[in-house]
Structure 1
Amino acid sequence: MPSSEIAFPLLHFSPKTRLKKTLLHKYCIAMRFTKRNIIPLLVFILSFASILRLVKISVITSYSSPIFSALSLVEHSHNPLAEKEINFLYDLVSRKSPCNILVFGLETQYSSQISTINRGGFTVFLEDNPAKIKLYNSTSNADSTRIYRVEYQTVASDAYKILKHARQNQKDCYISATARPSSLKHDVHSNSSRKCKFMSLVTNVPKEVYEVKWDLVIVDGPEGDKPESPGRMAAIYIAGVLARRSKNKNGTHVLVHDVDRMIEKWFSWEFLCDTNLFSSKGKFWDFNIPIKPNATTFCPA
């Protein structure tokens, strides 16, 4: 056979081989499409995100009024109460009203309503955040309500150290709690108070707070959700002090919020006592502190 007539054998591809070639061809086309279009798509997404961020910054800057700033601070500083907790709080205030109510903390969710329910009574708020005070003053018209700015000389991370100090000076702390002062200055600098440091852990507390016969004390401040927050150690102690000084015939109720947190539990047990726990709802504990003339400690051994 002439060399020019030499025939090469035919190449036969199996169905699998043809399928692989088809898929490979489509993949190459898709990759070319992706490379052409992915860069513009990424540029669009990044540009849109940048525009949104600029709009957000512009909005925040344009609303930098004191009220807007106060709202921002208030919104992020406190977990809102559940409906059952709000109803529990309002029901207790309604049953006591009109009466003398002291509140540690100034929360927009319910503070003005407490003053409204307690119309004819006397309501005092102790707050350390000036933005909250400014916001409340701008929205409330309550005549029988007073707000005082106090300062806490504590941080939540020192809670155990403070509790240890209280236990080591239990007798002096109890004397400070039950001895009604003739003046705030005398109370803070008395012999017992020099050993029990709690009274000096909160400053700017007005004299009348220690002089009024309180029917209900609510502890929902200061902030205590971070190690650097003031914590409610001193607030719970002072609530226990005021409840015992009031010497109400039917006892003084002390309502503590956020008892799911360790500090609120520790200090409530220490100064308000589990034997005085009257009721509870959600994150509220309601203590009723009775008169015990012969007691020498906050809680029975």
Structure 2
Amino acid sequence: MTNSTKKITDIISRYYHEKIQIGSDQVNIIANAIRGRAPGCNLLVFGAGYDSALWEKINYDGYTLVVEHHPEWCRNMAQFANVKPISYPEISVKNSLPINIDNMEKHDIPNVLKEKSWDVIIVDSPPGYTDTDPGRSLSIYWASKISGPHTHIFVDDYERPVEKCYADTFVRSDDFCCFEIARWSGRKMLMLWRVGKDKGFNPVFSVDYPATRRPIRWLVNEPDFRVVMFHDATLPISDMFQLGLFDETTFAVVSFSWVVNEKRIRDLQTFFGDAAEKIGASNVFKNQVILIMNSQEEYEMAKAALPECNIAHVNNTCFLDFDLFKVDAEIEKKYDAVYNAKPLAFKRHHLTSEVDSKVFITYDVNEANEGLTALVDINEFFPTLVERNISSKKVMEVASSAYVGLSLSEVEGACYASTEYLLCGLPVVSTPSQGGRDAFYDEYNSLICAPDPNEVARSVAELKQRLLNGEITSEQIRENCIKRINFFRYSFIDALKICIRKAGINTPDERVESLVMNAIKNNNKLINSRNFWTSRVERG
């Protein structure tokens, strides 16, 4: 989680409470809209209430104005927010329908509403529960008049006749993306969101292959440029183009979990060639999409096959939070080796059979029980201990109780477990492999041995002895690994800088570096900033 995201999450956790009538999901969406316009968001809220402090805090680096017609609420909320009085003359729920435009126009828009160009407007007042309440006819009408194409407008209680009629007439339009956010509180309550046409934020959702739908994650989402990152997916980039989400300030990054072989390269050629031409996006895909490859071999193959594309050698494990995995000299060494791997055939646990003292870290799986992903009973190889489904902190502790880490698959992608071993100060015994984990190996920190149980056991014994003799140290292994992680991180940043400069965006290199590094920090594997196994992208 980035520092900014964590800050907003903390604010909502602190200031959202049961007296606030807007639902928590609705609050999160509004918060995203506000932060999408930050810093400097101009936020207008019709209605002072228990949520006033929440909006003020979420828009901490912008300007927030709350307008309220009820004197008591003005006084009570003035200590929490910038509240100014407003009046709604001669208007009630009863006389709001049918819509009378002449009646609307005879009421001048208050000057206080015209003092800013509003980025986000929330219409949550005046009350409209009974026929004698003022209702929201004027506030919705005024919101439509003082908004620009870039303005997000939220109309609460959209299920009620006045709100729906006026919002449909003055807010909804074929020129804007609008959708309804539901909240259940004994009955279905709706909020209408008219999405502002601004590149800072969009109502975009990703759908992954288990059909889970969630707001799209942005690696960087700033007014001057933004970066979206997809893991093992290129088709969503086509979706984004067709939804109008690619302007000159938008960049997409594609990373891969498995080895990029010749077939995958052919698929990419098709995507960047025929498919791109068919939807008229060839220049976008060539100029604003970056492919990152886990191994040098994959990089060279992709570069030869796709010479006009932006391709960088960036091993995925550089997105590990290396503060989670450390050398802990206080933990007693109990095992000769540790193997952190799912109980699947391609992980080749049988190669550990001659290692007498070993601990397995493993996980529940939902891969197809066939071929490379066939389920294996790892207890058949007599581990000293099996730890299942443990936290990252526990992984560090268990790994640190062993002398050597094992990586024994023949083919996969970047191997997070292997780099985690190195960050914990463990040398690694690996078999020859495809996929990129060897990008972190050298003569100091590893041995590459034949895929034979005896050779694995011999190599474990050799690296253990080197540690005991002081020929290698855990601290140096970790330090060298961090240098390699930073090398890949800066390779990624350099590739992005090139694209930004080509696009003519006047953003200093230091700003690009700072934004990307902050996104990576405390965001292990970019879980909160990367879209995994996305099948499609769609509007709200």
**TM-score if structure 1 supplies the norm length?**
0.52
1:149 paired with 2:49, answer no
Match of 1:235 in 2: 139
Instruction: Check the 8 A contact 2:26/2:181 in 1, yes or no.
Output: yes
Shift of 1:91: 2.5
Match of 1:281 in 2: 181
Question: Following superposition of structure 1 onto structure 2, how do residues 79-228 of structure 1 map, counting pairs within 5 Å?
Answer: 80-97=21-38, 98-108=40-50, 110-137=51-78, 139-140=79-80, 142=81, 145-161=82-98, 163=99, 165-166=100-101, 196-201=102-107, 205=110, 207-228=111-132
Tell me, in whole angstroms, the C-alpha distance in 2 between the residues paired with 1:266 and 1:147.
27
Instruction: Check the 8 A contact 1:202/1:234 in 2, yes or no.
Output: no
Instruction: Check the 8 A contact 2:68/2:83 in 1, yes or no.
Output: no
Percent of aligned positions that are identical: 22
Matching residue's letter, 1:131: E
Match of 2:152 in 1: 253
Shift of 1:289: 5.4
Deviations along 1:59-112, one digit per CA (max 9) or x if unpaired, are xxxxxxxxxxxxxxxxxxx9822222222222322222331111111121x211
Instruction: Check the 8 A contact 1:256/1:264 in 2, yes or no.
Output: yes
SS of the residue 2:85 aligns to: strand
Instruction: Check the 8 A contact 1:153/1:202 in 2, yes or no.
Output: no
Deviations along 1:250-290, one digit per CA (max 9) or x if unpaired, are x2111100011111110011001242243331121111355
| Count of residues in Structure 1 that have an aligned counterpart in Structure 2 | 171
Deviations along 1:202-246, one digit per CA (max 9) or x if unpaired, are 78x2x2422421111110000011000001011111110011xx4
Shift of 1:154: 0.2
Tell me, in whole angstroms, the C-alpha distance in 1 between the residues paired with 2:60 and 2:72.
25
SS of the residue 1:281 aligns to: strand
**Aligned pair in 2 of structure 1 residues 267, 286: CA closer, same or farther (>3 Å)?**
same
Mark the runs of 5 or more structure 2 residues left unpaired by the alignment: 1-18, 183-189, 199-540
**TM-score if structure 2 supplies the norm length?**
0.30
Shift of 1:159: 1.7
SS of the residue 2:95 aligns to: helix
Tell me, in whole angstroms, the C-alpha distance in 2 between the residues paired with 1:88 and 1:262.
24
**Aligned pair in 2 of structure 1 residues 280, 96: CA closer, same or farther (>3 Å)?**
farther
SS of the residue 2:122 aligns to: strand
Deviations along 1:110-168, one digit per CA (max 9) or x if unpaired, are 2111111112211111111111111112x42x5xx34233234201011224x0x22xx
1:268 paired with 2:174, answer no
Instruction: Check the 8 A contact 1:255/1:286 in 2, yes or no.
Output: yes
Instruction: Check the 8 A contact 2:155/2:163 in 1, yes or no.
Output: yes
Mark the runs of 5 or more structure 1 residues left unpaired by the alignment: 1-77, 167-195, 292-301
Tell me, in whole angstroms, the C-alpha distance in 2 between the residues paired with 1:79 and 1:265.
22
Deviations along 1:177-226, one digit per CA (max 9) or x if unpaired, are xxxxxxxxxxxxxxxxxxx33244478x2x24224211111100000110
Instruction: Check the 8 A contact 2:120/2:153 in 1, yes or no.
Output: yes
SS of the residue 1:159 aligns to: coil
Tell me, in whole angstroms, the C-alpha distance in 1 between the residues paired with 2:141 and 2:88.
15
SS of the residue 2:146 aligns to: helix
Tell me, in whole angstroms, the C-alpha distance in 2 between the residues paired with 1:289 and 1:213.
13
**Aligned pair in 2 of structure 1 residues 288, 159: CA closer, same or farther (>3 Å)?**
same
Deviations along 1:21-65, one digit per CA (max 9) or x if unpaired, are xxxxxxxxxxxxxxxxxxxxxxxxxxxxxxxxxxxxxxxxxxxxx
Q: Which structure shows the bigger proportion of residues in strand conformation?
A: 2
Match of 1:14 in 2: none
Instruction: Check the 8 A contact 2:172/2:178 in 1, yes or no.
Output: no
